[in-house]
Amino acid sequence: MKIAYPVIISKGEKSLIASVPDCNIDTQGKDLVDAIEMARDAISIWCVSEQDAGRSLPVASEMFGLKQDDGDIVTLVDVDIEAYRRRLELQIAE
């Protein structure tokens, strides 16, 4: 299953904060690329956990109209949940 969730990236004191409103999670990165990669990883972990608990994943919101502050970046971050799950299973098997 592939899905893309909107992510709001804001400047923190020492890093960039990546917020995923649909999943109610935040993460951070040292720069824009790192913040996006950290958001992708956080979303993937969250989605796998939700599925394992038998809960449905939220439908991705429209990125237009999300509440943001001046200077924030709103972008979509895509995840491939099955590929992430396979990668986790390989790491556990090692």
pTM of the shown model = 0.89
Q: Please, are residues 38 and 16 in contact by the beta-carbon 8 Å criterion?
A: no
Distance, in Å, from the CA atom of 5 to the CA atom of 93, rounded to the nearest integer, reads: 29
List all residues 6 or more positions away from 39 whose beta carbon is below 8 Å from its beta carbon.
Answer: 7, 9, 18, 20, 27, 29, 77
Pair of tokens at residue 10:
């804001």
List all residues 6 or more positions away from 80 whose beta carbon is below 8 Å from its beta carbon.
Answer: 1, 2
Domain hosting 53: range is: 2-93
Q: 2: helix, coil or strand?
A: strand
What total of structural domains would you count in the chain? 1
Identify the CATH number of the domain in which residue 23 sits: 3.30.160.250
What mean pLDDT is predicted for residues 50-59? 95
The pLDDT tens digits of the residues spanning 57-73 come to 999 998 777 777 788 99
